[in-house]
Structure 1
Amino acid sequence: MNAIPELNDYTDRSLLIVEDDKPFLDRLARAMETRGFAVTACDSVSSGLAQIGRSAPAFAVVDLRLGDGNGLDVVSALKRERPDARAIVLTGYGNIATAVTAVKMGAVDYLSKPADADDVVAALLSTDTEKSEPPPNPMSADRVRWEHIQRIYEMCNRNVSETARRLNMHRRTLQRILAKRAPR
């Protein structure tokens, strides 16, 4: 297996992080700075797009769902301004369809939250010829189902009846699932 290139192999170490979770944004920005990146942090799609307009970075870490829009718009704008830029998408609402869309729009990888800084660096610097290692503890089928239900529940603004309708599930069954703790 090929070794992951080091950041020292890159002359431009500019990194844009677009994340609306302020504590996570601050932690990730500090961690990436300690790993040698020149970080610019933004908390919205509009500020991320404005930053790309001023100076397109070599790297980007973008949250998929932001308060004012979709993070894929930032990835798309970055790839238009700087085709050689390497962007990854982070999300707590991961699914195959959005992962495929992110890669089609130019993202080099797609990571589920919580991702630590080492995972982010590995994804940003990995080459296309490498195969990523499977996670050491993949989610169980029950956990995947629970995550999907939670995502739909949030999309329906925490409306149990609407969520049950969209999932084609009885409302009381859904209430019992929501009342339980997340499976491992």
Structure 2
Amino acid sequence: MDDAIREIGPDRTLLLVDDDEPFLRRLERAMAKRGFEVEAVLSVTEGIARATARPPAYAVVDLRLEDGNGLDVVERLREKRPDARVVVLTGYGAIATAVAAVKIGATDYLSKPADANDIVQALLVGDGGLPPPPENPMSADRVRWEHIQRVYELCERNVSETARRLNMHRRTLQRILAKRSPR
């Protein structure tokens, strides 16, 4: 491993909080294979309860969950265990949310889809170190598509409002939305 990457350490407890159950179960298996003692939950409520009862050494928390904001889990975990290393995941990457996550104590912030190797590197990066760049970063087309999808969701799937906010023609937006996501 790189010098900037640490070993897991004696406390291998890891809390995963994500409401996408198939993704959560895959990540749970992948992290267990990498040596973590994983506890996976599907909601902010469960995440706060676990962070309060048994604060883990590591956590991976989705930003947007059905019952609230994942940053609430990060805050509770920081109160109970200031040395915990926390990675915030989101499908709605934005600079403002990244700054908010880091300010309340997240170690790193990753956009979905992030694979288990990227997450482990973010969790184990040494203090002051930077993890290596991702092996398979998103293409520029994919980043653009993700941004359009995020704005579309924020506009409650209103095509006209999304087109206005993105300063693009409505028909162009409809064509983009009708296509599959680029790789």
- 1:89 maps to 2:88: yes
What residue ranges of structure 1 are gaps of 5+ in the alignment? none
User: Equivalents in 2 of 1:137, 1:37: separation in Å?
Assistant: 24
* 2:121–2:131 contact (8 Å) kept in structure 1: no
- Percent of aligned positions with the same letter in both sequences? 70
Quick check: 124-133 or 164-173, which moved more?
164-173
Q: How many residues are matched? A: 182
What residue ranges of structure 2 are gaps of 5+ in the alignment? none
Q: How big is the shift at 1:16?
A: 0.5
Q: Counterpart amino acid of 1:6?
A: E
Aligned match of 1:27: 26
Q: How big is the shift at 1:157?
A: 2.7
Q: Counterpart amino acid of 1:2?
A: D
3-state DSSP of counterpart to 1:107: coil
User: Equivalents in 2 of 1:114, 1:177: separation in Å?
Assistant: 20
Q: Counterpart amino acid of 1:127?
A: G
User: Equivalents in 1 of 2:172, 2:159: separation in Å?
Assistant: 10
User: Equivalents in 1 of 2:51, 2:11: separation in Å?
Assistant: 15
Aligned match of 1:158: 157
Aligned match of 1:36: 35
* 2:4–2:126 contact (8 Å) kept in structure 1: no
User: Equivalents in 2 of 1:71, 1:173: separation in Å?
Assistant: 34
TM superposition score normalised by structure 1: 0.89
User: Equivalents in 2 of 1:64, 1:87: separation in Å?
Assistant: 12
User: Equivalents in 2 of 1:92, 1:46: separation in Å?
Assistant: 20
Q: How big is the shift at 1:136?
A: 4.2
3-state DSSP of counterpart to 2:86: strand
Aligned match of 1:6: 7
Instruction: Please provide the CA RMSD for this pair.
Output: 1.8
TM superposition score normalised by structure 2: 0.90
| Structural mapping, 1:71-90, within 5 Å | 71-90=70-89
User: Equivalents in 2 of 1:137, 1:88: separation in Å?
Assistant: 19
Aligned match of 1:46: 45
User: Equivalents in 1 of 2:157, 2:38: separation in Å?
Assistant: 35
Runs of 4+ in 1 over 6 A off after TM superposition: none
User: Equivalents in 2 of 1:124, 1:25: separation in Å?
Assistant: 17
Q: How big is the shift at 1:177?
A: 2.2
| Structural mapping, 1:129-140, within 5 Å | 129-140=128-139
User: Equivalents in 1 of 2:181, 2:18: separation in Å?
Assistant: 24
Q: Counterpart amino acid of 2:150?
A: R
1:154-179: CA deviations, max 9, x gaps?
22232212322333433223212222
3-state DSSP of counterpart to 2:119: helix
